[in-house]
Structure 1
């Protein structure tokens, strides 16, 4: 029986923005999937909880929770749903973050409709040299974002890649409706938001759209600021090479964002900040509630 190659390379999802900054945010999964090592297996959506969906695996189907158990991994009910806004929606980036630490890259990844959240650009330059995405509260908006289901070890590893530039909040489902492809609603989910604020468009004063082509974003920022051109120009390739290799340049570029008057503060998420994440209390981190991850 011939089976389709589900490797990240074959699917064109193996880009790692941490290694190739101009590919940021990487290519997200566009369908419910199970990332397992270097493969991305399709999930057959059922009108049931996530763990009861089926994994389209080789010659046979298997329930997701059963597949996770066979891989020696915890089931969905003991995992933490985390909304990915930037490269954490990219299977290649997630696999890189986890496997480089010796952590199994076995992660359910599901596109979910999220209300009240927009995607903008963080008001800082990341260690890799790119300008990363960040969520912001946008009442009335509906955005499809990938939710990753991380176990406690994976969550801590991702936290370590995000802090101190990002903080983790818990979004309540009664304020930010989150609808699965099955029609079920998440009761809550984690989300990382930038501690540096959101970049504003210099003309409109509204958040610059994030999640698009990194080269276009950097070219636009260079065009809007002579000081950035002098520091990191003349082009996006030069920007990421210089910024990625010199912390002081990143810090100076970040300061220029603020001095140009581009940075909008992020305060709307503060009521939802996860204090346990701030204190790094992971030993017995429970799911968000006893019925996680759903509330219909």
Structure 2
């Protein structure tokens, strides 16, 4: 166990680790931290312990997360299922020229996932995870074919004060839902689609009902995805 973090870990585990999207995908994107910290096999440890020595050791790739990859609990599930190291620093950062929208596609588990949009002049606080080669390969495998990882050459200022010359990000392969800003609530996404978009196959109901239907009925999910593809907007990259 990392020293001096027992109370922080108790709170952090309850806050960051309690959502399993393989069981409750309607709770996408899971729970994000409230401060920088480190995910380990023993849980979530808020604070700067091991951040400097692990995140910036030169052998990890900084990845800006816009959706569930910003959740330590979701990330641990991905890494644990593949048997690779679960140690991942998550650092808050100021990321320029980026906003968050949603991909014009239904995910394999039925939710509409977040995706980055290039927005000149914007500055947003986001989460940067630092992944080693094995971890990066695991996350890549969970994102294809619906996302492609791309390197962005732009300075990012971490909460630690360090400045990165660039970062990787996962772009939607399907474009974005038009005029939909980021919200951490699938109900709001579905409401936008019903109110402002032409998606006739989208089921009625609350977020859990709709996500369950799209998760369990692949033909329905494919029809909705096709309707979303038809209205997709470019992400600006």
Contact 2:8 2:45 in 1 (8 A): no
Contact 1:111 1:181 in 2 (8 A): yes
Alignment length (residue pairs): 233
- Normalising to structure 2: TM-score of the pair? 0.89
- 4 and 187 in structure 1: CA distance in 2 versus 1, 3 angstrom threshold: same
Provide the C-alpha distance between the structure 1 equivalents of 2:148 and 2:5, rounded to a whole number of angstroms.
45
- Normalising to structure 1: TM-score of the pair? 0.72
- 225 and 142 in structure 1: CA distance in 2 versus 1, 3 angstrom threshold: closer
Instruction: Indicate yes or no: 2:236 matched with 1:264.
Output: no
Correspondent of 1:247 among 207, 215, 218: 218
The aligned residue for residue 236 of structure 1 is 207
- 12 and 135 in structure 1: CA distance in 2 versus 1, 3 angstrom threshold: closer
Instruction: Indicate yes or no: 2:133 matched with 1:129.
Output: no
- 211 and 151 in structure 1: CA distance in 2 versus 1, 3 angstrom threshold: farther
Provide the C-alpha distance between the structure 1 equivalents of 2:5 and 2:143, rounded to a whole number of angstroms.
41
Correspondent of 1:187 among 140, 148, 165: 165
The aligned residue for residue 101 of structure 1 is 82
Contact 2:9 2:45 in 1 (8 A): yes
Instruction: Indicate yes or no: 2:157 matched with 1:222.
Output: no
Structure-to-structure mapping, 1:136-151, within 5 angstroms: 136-151=117-132
CA deviation after TM superposition for structure 1 residue 226, in Å: 7.1
- 234 and 222 in structure 1: CA distance in 2 versus 1, 3 angstrom threshold: farther
Correspondent of 1:156 among 119, 137, 142: 137
The aligned residue for residue 4 of structure 1 is 7
Structure-to-structure mapping, 1:201-216, within 5 angstroms: 201=179, 208-216=180-188
Provide the C-alpha distance between the structure 2 equivalents of 1:42 and 1:9, rounded to a whole number of angstroms.
10
The aligned residue for residue 29 of structure 1 is 33
- 110 and 220 in structure 1: CA distance in 2 versus 1, 3 angstrom threshold: same
Contact 2:94 2:158 in 1 (8 A): yes
The aligned residue for residue 39 of structure 1 is 43
Contact 2:94 2:125 in 1 (8 A): yes
CA-based RMSD of the aligned residues comes to 2.3
Provide the C-alpha distance between the structure 2 equivalents of 1:93 and 1:166, rounded to a whole number of angstroms.
17
CA deviation after TM superposition for structure 1 residue 20, in Å: 1.4
Provide the C-alpha distance between the structure 2 equivalents of 1:142 and 1:106, rounded to a whole number of angstroms.
28
Provide the C-alpha distance between the structure 2 equivalents of 1:12 and 1:191, rounded to a whole number of angstroms.
21
Name structure 2 gaps, 5 residues minimum: none
Which consecutive aligned stretches of 4+ in structure 1 deviate over 6 angstroms post-superposition? Answer: none
CA deviation after TM superposition for structure 1 residue 183, in Å: 2.6
Q: What per-residue deviation string (whole Å, max 9, x for no partner) do you get for residues 10-50 of structure 1?
A: 33532123431221111212211110024111333xxxxxx
CA deviation after TM superposition for structure 1 residue 152, in Å: 0.3
- 30 and 87 in structure 1: CA distance in 2 versus 1, 3 angstrom threshold: same
* SS, match of residue 46 in structure 2: strand
- 152 and 227 in structure 1: CA distance in 2 versus 1, 3 angstrom threshold: closer
The aligned residue for residue 47 of structure 1 is none
Provide the C-alpha distance between the structure 1 equivalents of 2:168 and 2:75, rounded to a whole number of angstroms.
16
Compare CA radii of gyration and give the structure with the larger one. Answer: 1
Contact 1:38 1:95 in 2 (8 A): no
